[in-house]
Each structure stands twice: as C-alpha cells, then as structure tokens.
Amino acid sequence: MGRRSRAAMLPTNIILLQNLVKRDPESYQEEFLQQYAHYESLRDIFMLNGLTGSDSAVATNGLDLGKGSSMVSGTNGTTISTSTSQLIELIGFVSQVCSCFPRQTANFPSELKQLLLEHHKALPFELKEKILSCLTMLRNKDVITAEELIQSLFPLLVAYSSHGNSLGANSHAKELRKIIYTNLISLLRSCNTNGKNQKLNKSTQAVCFNLLDKPDSQGVWATKLTRELWRRGIWDDSRTVEIMTQAASHQDVKIAMSGVMFFLDADREREENFEENSEDEDGFDLDALKHKMQVNKKTGRRGKKLENAIKTVKKKKKNGPGAPQGYLNFSAIHLLRDPQGFAEKLFKEHLSGKTKNKFDMEQKISLMQLLSRLIGTHKLTVLGIYTFFLKYLTPKQRDVTRIMSACAQACHDLIPPEVISVMVRKIADEFVSDGVANEVAAAGINTIREICSRAPLAIEETLLQDLVEYKGSKAKGVNMAAKSLIALYRDVAPEMLKKKDRGKNAAMEVQGAKREGRDSKRPQFGVENSVQGIAGIELLAKWKKEHSEESEDEDAEANWEVDAGSEEGNVDGEWVTMDSDKEYDVNMEDSDDEKDNADDKEADSDLELSDDEKKEVKDEQEDKGMDSETAFREIASTRILTPADFAKLQELRNEESVAEIMGVHKQDRREQLVDASTLTGPIRYKQSREERLQKVLEGREGRDKFSSRRGKRDNVRSTTNREKERRKNFVMSIHKRSVRGKQKMSLRDKQKVLRAHITKQKKKGY
Amino acid sequence: MTKSRKQKQKKQDFLRKKLKVGKPKERASNATDTSFVSKTISIRNQHLDHDPHDLTKRLTLLKHHNINVRKETLITFQKSIPSIINSRLMTPLLTQSIPLICDESKQVRQGLVDLIDEIGSHDAQILKLHCNIFVLYISMAMTHIVSQIQADSTKFLFHLLKYCSDEVVRKSWVKLLNGIFGVLGWGQIGKNDSASVVQTKKRNAKYVAVHLNALYTLVEYGCQDERARGVDNNTTESLVESSEFRNPYLIPDYPQPFEHLKIFTRELKVKDATTKGTNATLLSLTTQDIETRRASFSEQYLPIVRKQVEIIIKEGGECGKSANNLKKLLAKVFD
C-alpha cells in the first residue's frame, strides 16, 4: 500500500516533482511533459513581454509624461520579476531532468543558448546567471559538448567586456564576466584532468587566436585565460606560447603588455602555484605507518589505514607533485617557435618603430627585459638594441638599474665585441668617475662585470685596467665591484690585466705559456670553446693520481673505517676543499655582497696571494701542467674507462662547478638573470631620527623602567584616613585634646585603657 | 604687535557673526536673489487635485499581495467598465489583469472571469486584440503545477471562446487542444496516465464537465463551418461571410491576417524539426482554415476523444451529459 501511495504522490512544487522524476522518469513522463509545456508557454510569454517590456516602457515614457505611464512601467518591472523567477525555476528543473528525456528536450539546450546569445541585453541578470549555470550543468551531464559551451561563453565574455556597448547601468557586466571567466577556467580544468583533451584545447586556442587577430582590445581575455591556464599547468605547449607571442606583438598596449608580462612572470607564478599545492598536501610518512604495523598489534582498522595511505600515495605519484598529468616543465621562453623573429618583431614594432611612444617608461623597461632575456637565452642577434640602450644609460634615468640588468642580459659571446663595447664605454663614461656617488660607480662597474662575464671581449684593455684601479676605493661597494671584475678577468683573460693584478695562478700560467712559446688561451671572437675528447677527463686523471698516492696507508685505514661509511666519499670531500679553495673564496665575494669587514679582509688577503698556499704550490704546478689533452692521452690510451669511472667523472665535474653555481642554485642556468637590485652593491644610508628612535625602543622591549617603587601603589586608590593621620604634621596633632588628655589621665585610667586595649587585641587574635 | 589693516580685515573674515535676538540673520555676501515677478505661475507634472476616481492608480493594486484587495480591484474595474470601455486605460488594464489567470486565489480568478465577461459583452474587439497573450496565459495555466489553477483554466477558455472564437481557433488550435487533453489527463503517449489525474479524477467530476464543455465549444468553433453553426444568424451577414469563404484570394477582413507567417515575431529557432516528435510539427502548423483544423483533429485527436467520451458517458452524471453532447457534435461534424 505504501508503494501505491508513493506512486500516486501528488507533486505540488517543482522541487518535489524534480525529485520524483529523477527517481522514476518513466512514470512521471506525463508530469514532465506538462511542466515542459509550462516552460514553453512561460518562455513565450517572456519573449513577448519581458524582452519588449523595457522598450515599450521607454516608449510610453517618452510619449506622455503627464499621464501615469511611469507608474505603469514600474509595475511592468515587477511582472518581469515574478514571471522571471518562475522561468528561472523551470529552467533549472528542465535542465536537471532533461537527461532522462533526451528525445523530448532535444531542442532545450539550443534554446537556452539562443536566449543567452541573442537576447542577453534584454534578459535580467538573474536569468542570465541561471542559464549560464544550467548550461554548465548540461555540460557536466554530457548533454552538450564542451566545445558548444565554450562557443556560447566566449562571445558573451567579449560582449560584456567592451565599454559602453549600450549596456545599461543594470547589466551586472562585471559579475557576469567573473562568472563566465571562472566557468571557462573550471571547464577547461575539468576537461584536462584525466589526460589532455587536445581537441578542446586546440579549438579554444583557435578562439584565442581569433580574438587576438582583431585590432580591438578584446584579446585581453585571451591573454588572461591563457595566463591562468598556464599558471595551473593545464596548457603548457608551444601553441599556448604562440598565443602569447601574438599577444605580445599586438598593437594594443594593454594586450601587448599582458603578453610581455606573461613571458617575464608566468613561469615563476607557475612554480609558486605548484609549491603552494605541494605544501597543502598533508604529508604522512608511509614508512612510519608500515613500521607501526609491524610493531603494534595487528588490527583490521590499522590495516585499512595503511591500505588507504598506500592508495593515496600511489595516486599522488601518478599525478605528480601537485601538477596535472603529463605536465611539461618547460619555461615559456624555451617553447618559442621562432625566437629570432619574435625578438626582431618586438624590437622593431614596440621599441624602435613609430609607435614606440605609446608605451610608458615602465612598460618599455618590461619590453627591454623581455627582449634581453630572449636574446640571452637563445643567443639571438638583434644588433639594434645595443645602441637603443645607450639613450637610457644615464645615472639620472629612472629605474636605471633595471635597464642596466637588461643590458647585461642582452649580451652573449656571439655578438660582435665592437657592438657591445660602445655600450660598455658609455656605461664607463657615465657611471664610473670620481664625481659620482658611490653606488652609481658600483652599479656601473658591476654592470660592466656582468656584461664581460658574458662577452669577455667587449672591453678594451686600457679601460679594464682603468676600472680595476677602483679596487683601492674607500667605498665598499665600489671596492668590491672592482675586485670582482679582477676576479673575473683572472679567470677569463689574465693577460688583459696589469701584471700585479693577475694573481698567482694566472700569472704563473701566463709565464709558463710564454716560456713554452704557446699562444695564450686568450678568448677570441667566434672561436667556440667546445669540448674535445671527454669533458673533465683531466679531473679524473688528477683524482686517480692522488688516490694512488694515498693508497699506501689506505689499506690500513680502510680496515677500520669500513663501518663509518664509504671512505671514498670522505676522500672526495677532503680533495675538493683543498684544491678549489681559492676559486671558491673569490666567487663567494663575487656573489655575496652582504659580507662584513672580516670577509672583506679575507678577500684582500686572498688577492695578495696568501702565504699559506706556498706549500701547495708544488702540487698545483703539477695540476696546471696537465691540461685536458695530455690527460686524455694519458688515461684513455692506457686503460678502458669503466661505468664507475664515468660516474666518478660526473661527480668530479659537478663538484668543480659547485662554486660557480653557489649563487644561482635554483635558477635554470641557461636563463641566468641579472638581479637589478644587487647591481648597486650594499648601500647604507644615514638613519633618520625616527629610525634611530625605533631602534632604541626595540632594545627596551620587555624591560621595566628604572626607578624607585616607593610611593607607587599597585592599584589606584586615594589615601585612607589612617594614612592621613599618620602623615599629619606632629606639631598640629600635639595640641589636640585627645592627645593632651592622655597625659593628664590618672594612673588608674591609664591602666584601664591599657587593659581594654590588650583584651581588644587578644580578641582580634594578635 | 600692531597688525596692518589688511591683516585685520583678513581676520574679520573668519570671525563668527554673533546672532542677536530680534534682528534678522545677516545675509551672506554671496547670496543669490531668486525672486521674480510673473503674471501667472503654472507648474507642470504636478496634480494638485487628486482624483478619487482615477482608475490608473488602481492598476497596481492588481498585484497587491492581499487577496481581498486584488478581488476588490477587479470588481471595481468591472463596475466601471461601461465608462472606460473606450478609453486608453483598457490596454494596461488587460495586460495587468490577464496574468491573474494563474492567481492562487479562486475568488480572484472568478473575479477575472466576470471582468472578462463584462468586457466581452461591451466590446469583443478589445478581447480580440489581446487574444495572443490570453492564449499564452491560458496554456500556461493549463500546465500549472497547482491543480486548482489547472482546473480553472478551461473556464477562461470557455469565456474567451464566447467572444473571440475565430481568433482563438485560427491562431492556437493545436496548442489549446493539447492543453485541454493535458487537463483532462488523456495522455497521448501511452497507457501511463499522469499521477495527479489518476488521483483527482473521481473527486473532480464537476471540473471534468467544465473541461468537456470547453472542448465542445472549441471543436464547435474550430471544425464546424459557419452555416451549420449560425442558424440563428442574420442571413445577409452569413451570406457575406460565406462569400468570403468562397473567395480565398481576397485579403481577409480580420486584423493581422498574415501574422501566422511569423515574419516579425521574435521566436527561438528550432534546431531541426526532424528530431522532435509529431507534436512539434503540429504546433508549427498553421491552422488558418477550417479544413486544416478538421484534418489535424481527426488525424491526431479524434480516436482518443471518442474512446474517452465513451468511458465518461458510461459513468453518467453531469459529465456524462456533456460527454454525450460532445459525442453528438463529433458525429455531426465528422460523419
């Protein structure tokens, strides 16, 4: 009987009916059809009333102001709202259950789309919102495809982003844009969760390309979308990057800048995003759980816990650390299809063309940064940019350090030195002289050092020697900058330095070369220093030699060091610190500017060829004598290199490069960036009064005030009568009758008083 | 110490003026004189005399949340119909009152029926003008989820047919037939009756009779030609009308004769008609002339009607009587 009553249940509202229809679509087909017809008639009424309503109201308003037509139009508004709420309800109902009746509702999605696309100007906001959410729901139920949804979302996004497109004040454009945008993002994300949906991605990217093809500013949405998807790692291919290149070379300033900023920032953003994600995951230790399982009592619950943990770990491994499946970790600049063309186009159209003035300084600097990064990364030749930089290289220029860092990044060894040397000369002239502030000079020298580390031939010998003279400067920043320049050239081309600046190793090398009549290893333009034979073989040879020297007492040591760990590793550590001692220190000074005086002294002593190293001289001479060629001959001809040898080789090479990497551990080495903020070196300005005061107060924190506690009560109150009496002047109270009377009292009375006092005190308990 | 005169003057500006009792407040130096002189003053957009009989003010009351107010307003309008029948008030009155077809209160709906009757008895042309929107709301009421509203919907149809039958059957023949079938619970799909109809069939015998009457009039006006129906009509008039029927190449005399072509109407496109059922194709069919109407009825609805009518006749009562009438009409028209 209960079943019967359930079947005959009479739905009295839409939600109830929706529930019933979902449970048993066949039985409630009639009801559904009725409601569908209801929806249709409501829709027709809406088409008749709602859409024309606003127009007719306006028309009548214009016609007769005197009559009560304004009131009529006002009431018209309320009819819209009631019938609209019904329509909203029904649209929700039909889209919820229409997957049960695909044949009858075949036309429903397209009707919604038409309503939205063609009449969106006349629809009230709530209805638009509902239709959007219903379309998304239909997509989730697979009634319409993702492509269809995107095709209806994009035009709306464009329509609502244009200004003054006869959109009324009440159009809620901003909210709608937000809704549509988040819908788009979540749609693309959900479509790309299990493997990439290449078809959808391609079609969406095609839409983006089309948007960017138009000269107006609608393309901003394409760039915004692309950037967001890139940040989430959903789009990571070269097509995406191609969209952004098109955006970057767009005529519209806003779009162009969003493209440029994408290349400058997007990768960092993406990394941050993934780091956050990985932090979010609650890390639990699988090994610990397993161990607990072994030690503790075995119960079903714990076993289940372990199983769950294993499952989640596997899932995580499958998906990678926070990144979607099959995610490529290439930076945007590396995925460029035609970097040279892109760089040339950017330079020609945005920086040097007729339209260059449409960008303000900040934007121009961003463009310069992007261009220089492109040039540095892909070793491009855009020769015009170096003379372009000249204009901005003056100390008075705003944000000049950023421009200078761009300058430095734009240099590499395939640019003709004479092109760069103009720039270097200009920097030296403008920045490095006795008349300028310390940090200006430091910035100049540091920039020159950065340039020269990329293109060592860009500076003439005389200029270099002049700049090196600043090593005696009193200002710390300048001093350090000059020394770092020396250190660089000791490494790269010691011949260019004066004799006294060359340093011990470099000087000896030069002398040795002269003695033997070899041509020096001075770098030349166009000659690549490619590796012959096996890279780093001389290191291996040296290691072998040392190893064999030590091997005499190794046997003895090995016996009692077996337990302690791998003895080999121990030896390695020793070797590295001894051999690369000097280089390491120099580089430290180079990269780390915030050292104290102590460090400075250390560096000084280093430069003056410390005496401690004397004992090593012999050793090192041997080492230097063996260059890669001889080493190759020696080792490769005498024995066959085993895989273990190669592993060792790799290790040694890594260790050698440790010092170089010190400062730039995390960065991609191909994209070494010049940090603009470090160019000026450490600057210490005189503190203002407020700052000093703040520092003083900082020291006093948590300390009591130094003063006597006397006369200070812990809780605030007035003095009691007793206190007042006690403090009263003696002369005043001596004349009182009560005091005088005491003297005149008889002995007996005195006794009485005393006794009474005693009993009173006793009663009180004293 | 001695300040210059200029400085003193400057200071004077910032001193507060003391107000004194009995003296008018001093005027500010930058005050603007707004007085003017004129012979007459006319103020626009302001009705100083509030007309207690101004009915436009009462239009909003049709949407009042209180049932009684709505009902009273309908009655007021009904009483004043003779005076306003030819005023411009009629259009807003109808557009505002027609949505009351779907009102929750039975009294309000009854009041609306009376109002429509009143208007129709004075000037049927006005109803004809709003025929489209009438039909839309009636069909909405026919599919309304509240069964009381659904049951009352045919009453409106019945009264509307009295005044503008021709318009109604021409424009929305199939739609209304579908609606009545839905209300009666005569499913077109299969044996599955809709649950609400099963439950309320026994209780609402009275309503069934009303529905059947509405169906009777609809079929009568839709499928029976004028001569058969207009026995008591003026002979000359019927002659004129019949001559029109004979000559379909003249422009018909009713308003908007080409509306069914849907050239200027706003409508959503149907994606492709093939995917939809026969119902949709029927809906898109124009039923301008009697032959089409008759064909579509006999093709789609006649068998069901005959079957159901037989059942109802057997049950007897008031419903049986109306069903019998309908049966006779069908026999007369289609046999």
> In which domain, by residue range, is A90 found?
1-50+82-144
CB A33 within 8 Å of CB A104:
yes
Tokens of A189: 């994300």
Query: Are the beta carbons of B277 and A10 separated by less than 8 Å?
Result: no
Closest chain A residue to B188, measured at CA:
A30
- Residue A432 confidence (pLDDT): 92
ipTM tops 0.90: no
- Per CB-CB distance under 8 Å, the chain A contacts of B63 are 75, 78-79
Is residue A534 assigned to a domain?
Answer: no
Query: Are the beta carbons of A78 and B56 separated by less than 8 Å?
Result: no
How many whole angstroms separate alpha carbon A367 and alpha carbon A386?
14
Q: How many CB atoms lie within 10 A of CB B284?
A: 12
Tell me the CA end-to-end span of chain A in Å, nearest whole number.
91
Helix (H, G, I), strand (E, B) or coil at A685: coil
How many whole angstroms separate alpha carbon A504 and alpha carbon A248?
50
CB A135 within 8 Å of CB A149:
yes
- Of A250, A150, A140, A159, the residue nearest A202 (C-alpha): A150
- Per CB-CB distance under 8 Å, the chain A contacts of B142 are 37
Helix (H, G, I), strand (E, B) or coil at A106: coil
- Per CB-CB distance under 8 Å, the chain B contacts of A107 are 270-271, 275-276, 280
Q: Looking at the complex, does the CB of residue B44 fall below 8 Å from at least one CB of chain A?
A: yes
Alpha-carbon gap: A80 to the closest alpha carbon of chain B (Å): 11
- Per CB-CB distance under 8 Å, the chain B contacts of A25 are none
Burial A120-154 (b: 16+ CB within 10 A, else e): bebbbeebbbbbbebbbbbbeeebbebebbbbbbb
Count the domains in chain A.
2
- Residue A743 confidence (pLDDT): 84
CATH of the domain at A442: 1.25.10
- Residue A609 confidence (pLDDT): 40
- Minimal Cβ distance to B143: which of A14, A35, A106: A35
Is residue A453 assigned to a domain?
Answer: yes
- Minimal Cβ distance to B143: which of A12, A34, A83: A34
Instruction: Classify residue A368 as exposed, middle or buried by CB count within 10 Å of its CB (0-12, 13-18, 19+).
Output: buried
Whole-angstrom Cα Rg for chain B: 32
A156 CA to centre of own chain: 32
CB A109 within 8 Å of CB A144:
yes
Tokens of B156: 């409106």
Instruction: Classify residue B328 as exposed, middle or buried by CB count within 10 Å of its CB (0-12, 13-18, 19+).
Output: exposed
Q: How many CB atoms lie within 10 A of CB B143?
A: 24
The model's pLDDT over A108-165, given as tens digits with 9 standing for 90+, comes to 888 888 888 888 877 888 888 999 999 999 998 888 888 888 888 888 888 887 665 5
- Which residue's entry shows tokens 């002047």? A729
- Residue A416 confidence (pLDDT): 92
Furthest-apart CA atoms within chain B: distance in Å = 123
Going by the DSSP 8-state scheme, the letter that residue B257 receives in this structure is T
Phi and psi angles of residue B24, each rounded to the nearest 5 degrees, phi first: -65, 155
For B213-248, give the secondary structure using H, E and C: HHHHHHHHHHHCCHHHHCCCCCHHHHHHHHHHHHCC
CB B305 within 8 Å of CB B333:
no
- Which residue's entry shows tokens 């993002």? A185
- Minimal Cβ distance to B195: which of A10, A68, A111: A10
Going by the DSSP 8-state scheme, the letter that residue A381 receives in this structure is -
Please compute, for residue B231, the number of CA atoms within 13 A of its CA located in the half-sphere on the CB side: 2
- Minimal Cβ distance to B267: which of A47, A52, A107: A47
Tokens of B282: 């029927």
Query: Are the beta carbons of B139 and A41 separated by less than 8 Å?
Result: yes
Confidence of residue B219 (pLDDT cuts 50, 70, 90): confident
**What secondary structure does DSSP assign to A121-137, as a single string?**
TTS-HHHHHHHHHHHHH
Instruction: Classify residue A232 as exposed, middle or buried by CB count within 10 Å of its CB (0-12, 13-18, 19+).
Output: buried
Is residue A482 assigned to a domain?
Answer: yes
**What secondary structure does DSSP assign to B49-64, as a single string?**
S--TT-GGGGGGGGG-
How many angstroms separate the Cα of A397 from the Cα of each of A391, A402, A403, B202?
A: 10, 10, 9, 93
Q: Looking at the complex, does the CB of residue B269 fall below 8 Å from at least one CB of chain A?
A: yes
CB B195 within 8 Å of CB B237:
no
Question: Which parts of chain A register pLDDT below 50?
Answer: 1-8, 53-79, 166, 320-322, 551-625, 659-670
Is residue A479 assigned to a domain?
Answer: yes
How many whole angstroms separate alpha carbon A153 and alpha carbon A496?
65
- Residue B188 confidence (pLDDT): 60
CB B285 within 8 Å of CB B170:
no
Element (H, E) at A263: helix A253-280
Query: Are the beta carbons of B59 and A72 separated by less than 8 Å?
Result: yes
Q: Which of B196, B262, B272 is the mutation pick for testing A, counting most A CBs within 10 A?
A: B196
Please compute, for residue A703, the number of CA atoms within 13 A of its CA located in the half-sphere on the CB side: 9
How many whole angstroms separate alpha carbon A649 and alpha carbon A538?
9
Which residues, 6+ apart, have CB-to-CB distance to B187 below 8 Å? A30, B181, B193, B194
Q: How many CB atoms lie within 10 A of CB A401?
A: 19
How many whole angstroms separate alpha carbon A229 and alpha carbon B233?
76
How many angstroms separate the Cα of A477 from the Cα of each of A406, A446, A472?
A: 21, 9, 11
pLDDT surpassing 60 at residue B230: no
CB A270 within 8 Å of CB A329:
no
CB A509 within 8 Å of CB A624:
yes
- Minimal Cβ distance to A10: which of B133, B140, B199: B199
Long-range contacts of A350-353 (CB under 8 A, 24+ apart): A350/A249, A350/A256, A351/A385, A351/A388, A352/A384, A352/A388
CB B253 within 8 Å of CB B244:
yes
B35 CA to centre of own chain: 54
Query: Are the beta carbons of A71 and B56 separated by less than 8 Å?
Result: yes
Is residue A436 assigned to a domain?
Answer: yes
Query: Are the beta carbons of B195 and A27 separated by less than 8 Å?
Result: yes
- Of A264, A200, A187, the residue nearest A232 (C-alpha): A187
Amino acid at A459: I
- Of A80, A103, A86, the residue nearest A35 (C-alpha): A86
Mean pLDDT to the nearest integer, B202-224: 81
DSSP H helical segments within A282-409, as ranges? 286-295, 300-319, 339-346, 361-378, 384-392, 400-409
Is residue A420 assigned to a domain?
Answer: yes
- Residue A693 confidence (pLDDT): 92
- Of B261, B154, B189, B215, the residue nearest A104 (C-alpha): B189
Confidence of residue B267 (pLDDT cuts 50, 70, 90): low
CB B143 within 8 Å of CB B185:
no
How many whole angstroms separate alpha carbon A171 and alpha carbon A169?
6
- The residue out of A95, A122, A144 marking a domain boundary is A144
How many angstroms separate the Cα of B307 from the Cα of each of A301, A609, A761?
A: 66, 117, 118
Helix, strand, coil share of chain B (percent; to 5): 65, 0, 35
Could you tell me the pTM of the whole model? 0.65
Closest chain B residue to A111, measured at CA:
B268
How many whole angstroms separate alpha carbon A536 and alpha carbon A540?
7
How many angstroms separate the Cα of A377 from the Cα of each of A238, A343, A389?
A: 17, 11, 19
- Residue A50 confidence (pLDDT): 61
Tell me the CA end-to-end span of chain B in Å, nearest whole number.
123
Please provide the size of chain B in residues: 335
Query: Are the beta carbons of A12 and B145 separated by less than 8 Å?
Result: yes
- The residue out of A481, A516, A551 marking a domain boundary is A516
Mean pLDDT to the nearest integer, B158-163: 88
How many whole angstroms separate alpha carbon B154 and alpha carbon B199?
19
Long-range contacts of A728-734 (CB under 8 A, 24+ apart): none
Long-range contacts of A397-400 (CB under 8 A, 24+ apart): A398/A361, A399/A361, A399/A362, A399/A365, A400/A443
Q: Give B165 or A286, the one with higher predicted confidence.
A: B165
- Of B132, B122, B175, B166, the residue nearest B254 (C-alpha): B166
- Per CB-CB distance under 8 Å, the chain B contacts of A37 are 139, 142-143, 178-179, 182
Is residue A412 assigned to a domain?
Answer: yes
Is residue A492 assigned to a domain?
Answer: yes
Q: Give B219 or A5, the one with higher predicted confidence.
A: B219
- The residue out of A516, A540, A556 marking a domain boundary is A516
Closest chain B residue to A116, measured at CA:
B268
